[in-house]
Amino acid sequence: MSTKIGRRFEGKVAIVTASTQGIGFAIAERLGLEGGSVVISSRKQKNVDEAVDKLKNKGLEVVGVVCHVSNAQHRKDIIQKTLDKYGKIDVIVSNAAANPSVDPVLLTQESVLDKLWEINVKATVLLLQEAAPHLQKGSSIVFISSIAAYHPQPAMFMYGVTKTALLGLTKALATEMAPDIRVNAVAPGSVPTNFAAFITKDEAVRKIAEERTLLRRLGTPEDMAAAAAFLASDDASYITGETLIVAGGLPSRL
């Protein structure tokens, strides 16, 4: 299915964390295709270099930075390098996440609880603390939450809880940063990426995941990118504090 893509981000600068593959890469690509200058990042230089090459080969304006979001210096660097190169920041998409354990909640080690909180929630707050002084009227922030925020899944219960926290963070920051800056979230459904490889490894699991949706298919990174681009764009200029669920009709009430 081909999509007609507009040019909503011409003259705009976007930072997308964890953006060298999967949903993050698709978001970076979409913002670039729509005319934005995009700063992508990942923990590994090799992944950053490969993603930058792919995007540049499509004629997009992109720079890559190594950024482990839980590293304070890396957070400072991604903001500073963006400002050094482009002089401003219009859009931040916070996509970094970890799911280091498949243990039940009551058997999850404290170190794992700390890591989940640190990467999935706390690092997002700290990155925005770093970025906020450089945002201006009309800037937009998009968090990537998950359908698991509404229905935590077995083997990823605590991951789901951290994604529920992002729904609250979206509401809190939308209030705090209004009226100049909008804050919204996307909650993807089942999207077969490296991060969620368990969905596609087993054909039976994939089939169940597909049949749970009303549209009888899994999501794609491009589906999520379209939603994130909409929320980040001026088309969504009267939307803030909201979470857009992109899950093919999966039930989604807290």
Percent of the chain topping pLDDT 70: 96
What is the DSSP code string of the chain? -------TTTT-EEEESS-SSHHHHHHHHHHHHTT-EEEEEES-HHHHHHHHHHHHHTT--EEEEE--TT-HHHHHHHHHHHHHHHS---EEEE--------S-GGG--HHHHHHHHIIIIIHHHHHHHHHGGG--TT-EEEEE--GGGTSPPTT-HHHHHHHHHHHHHHHHHHHHHTTT-EEEEEEE----SSTTTHHHHSHHHHHHHHHHSTTSS---HHHHHHHHHHHHSGGGTT--S-EEEESTT-----
How far is 42 from 96, CA to CA, in rounded Å? 9
Mean pLDDT of all residues in 3-10:
89
CATH number of 13-190+220-245: 3.40.50.720
In a 10 Å sphere around its CB, with 0-12 CB exposed, 13-18 middle and 19+ buried, how is residue 221 labelled?
buried
pLDDT at 197: 67
pLDDT at 7: 96
How far is 186 from 167, CA to CA, in rounded Å? 9
Please state the pTM of the whole predicted model. 0.96
pLDDT at 199: 65
CB of 13 within 8 A of CB of 39? yes
- What are the structural domain ranges in the chain? 13-190+220-245
β-sheet bridge partners, residue 186: 144, 244
C-alpha 246, offset from chain centre: 13
Closest CA to 184 of 202, 165, 171: 171
Q: Which residues are catalytic?
A: 159
pLDDT at 193: 76
pLDDT at 5: 87
pLDDT at 8: 98
In a 10 Å sphere around its CB, with 0-12 CB exposed, 13-18 middle and 19+ buried, how is residue 81 labelled?
middle
Q: Is the pLDDT of residue 244 over 90?
A: yes
**Per-residue pLDDT tens digits for 60-80:** 999 999 999 999 999 999 999
Closest CA to 246 of 229, 51, 139: 229
Q: Is the pLDDT of residue 246 over 70?
A: yes
Looking from the CA of 72 toward its CB, the CA atoms found within 13 Å total 0
**Per-residue pLDDT tens digits for 190-205:** 998 776 666 667 888 8
> Band of the pLDDT at 153, cuts 50, 70, 90?
confident
